[in-house]
Amino acid sequence: MTKGPLRVVIVGAGFAGLNAAKALRQEPVHITIVDRRNFHLFQPLLYQVAAAALNPSDIAYPIRSIFRRQENVRSVLLAEVTGINLSDKTLSLDDASVLPYDYLILATGATHSYFGHDDWEEVAPGLKTLEDALLLRQRILAAFEEAERNPDDADRLLTFVVVGGGPTGVELAGALIEIAVHSLGKEFDVIDPTRARVLLVEGAPHVLPVYPEDLSDSARRQLETLGVEVLTGTMVSEIDEGGVTLSDGRRIESGLVLWAAGVQASKLGDILGVETDRTGRVHVEGDMSVPGHREVFVVGDLATVPGVPGVAPAAMQMGRHAGRMIEADLRMRSRFPFHYRNKGALATIGRARAVADFGQVRFGGFLAWVAWLAIHIFYLIGFRNRVLVLISWAWSYLTFRRGARIITGVPRLPEKGEP
């Protein structure tokens, strides 16, 4: 142990990492936060950026600003972890520097998985980063423009296939049909955007498969009312530039396939060199620490805990728990196991449509959407963001227009070594 304050290093500034740091707010420790990006991303609203309803910075907030007033956050590093030495208690970073820790909290989350079909990524972009969202936005809007210029190919170009019927897939499918019908409906001369088709393909027998069946049915009905074609119990066997082939042999010609299916944990589980499940998530002890290393915690989507879903509230709770375990150590109290509090689940389907599952109380439709709106705005970090997002939504809701409907260049992440 060093003589100064204990050094806590948190890798990843998502919901889990942020909440770990905040839980340690009062403690006499030195916190270092390491992230590849300079911002926290409010991932539940990422699809709204893809759907041209929100701006990137509406849902992204600089990490440095978040901890501006938390004195014990001593350092925020824009870096990638390339190695972890559990016996030396050090991290290697991509600029070849070495970062020592007394406590380590790993919270680098998950990305999408193409189930071994990595070649599909090129033709069926997913939705995990801001760059993904801007790329999707560009492709969605460009599809209508291309159809306008090539009306003979409009049927294919304006058929959108969303693969995966979880919350992201359901939200994207609902948003897509609303863009076509309400936002663009009357603005083209040659094509009729309202004739665009949106298909939602889900392998399980129901959309939102982790929700209770009555809510899954409600979601399906709401989607179909909007005009989405819902194909459950159906897998995708092939994706190429011209469209998708389904498991039943059907071929769907499509101009844009969106991937909202698999999840793969960040590669930090591998770098850690401990036991993971088949999606790369790390098995943890009851207190969220790594077996044999009480000073290393894995939280959020990078950890696998039986019965705990991969949703934002669970990540927040896990992060907070890791912080509390360090607090318990510092105060010579005993650690206690993580207990997940299910605060309910919400998924939106489009303008004024949603499903809500608060255990005993389950409902769909407008009321669920209001609940969804209130909770998401409440959790959005930063006063300004809340106000701006609220105005953006009110405007979209009242006018059916989309404020961020501009096609900009394809964002490309800087290469290593680039500024």
Using the minimum distance from each CB to a copy of itself, give the nearer residue, 70 or 279.
Answer: 70
Report in angstroms how near the CB of residue 61 gets to a copy of itself at its nearest.
8
Judged by CB under 8 A, the chain residues 52 through 91 that form the site for a copy of itself are 55-58, 60-62, 64-65, 68, 74-79
Q: Which region, judged by CB under 8 A, interacts with a copy of itself, from 171-179, 292-300, 308-316, 395-403?
A: 395-403
Of 71, 122, 146, 171, catalytic: 171
Judged by CB under 8 A, the chain residues 301 through 360 that form the site for a copy of itself are none
Say whether residue 25 binds a copy of itself (CB under 8 A). no
Say whether residue 401 binds a copy of itself (CB under 8 A). yes
Please state, in angstroms and rounded to a whole number, the distance separating the CA atoms of residues 48 and 211: 22
Q: Which of 280, 267, 251, 219 is nearest to 83 (CA)?
A: 267
Say whether residue 184 binds a copy of itself (CB under 8 A). yes
Report in angstroms how near the CB of residue 291 gets to a copy of itself at its nearest.
33
- Residue 207 in tokens: 């959309």
Single residue of 10, 81, 127, 141 touching a copy of itself by CB under 8 A: 141
DSSP state of 287: T
Task: List Cβ neighbours of 366 (8 Å cut-off, separation of 6 or more).
Answer: 352, 353
Say whether residue 176 binds a copy of itself (CB under 8 A). no
Helix, strand or coil, per DSSP, at residue 7 = strand
Contact status, residue 245 vs residue 120, Cβ threshold 8 Å: no
Residue 121 appears among annotated catalytic residues: no
Helix, strand or coil, per DSSP, at residue 71 = coil
Single residue of 98, 367, 370, 413 touching a copy of itself by CB under 8 A: 413
Amino acid (1-letter code) at residue 42: F
Say whether residue 187 binds a copy of itself (CB under 8 A). yes
DSSP code string of 100-149: E-SEEEE---EEEE-TT-TTHHHHS---SSHHHHHHHHHHHHHHHHHHHH
Q: Which of 363, 379, 362, 258 is nearest to 316 (CA)?
A: 379
**Residues binding a copy of itself (CB under 8 A):** 37-39, 55-58, 60-62, 64-65, 68, 74-79, 95, 97, 130-131, 134, 138-139, 141-143, 145-146, 148-150, 184, 186-190, 255-256, 383-385, 387-388, 391-392, 395, 399, 401, 403-414, 418-419
Active site residues: 171
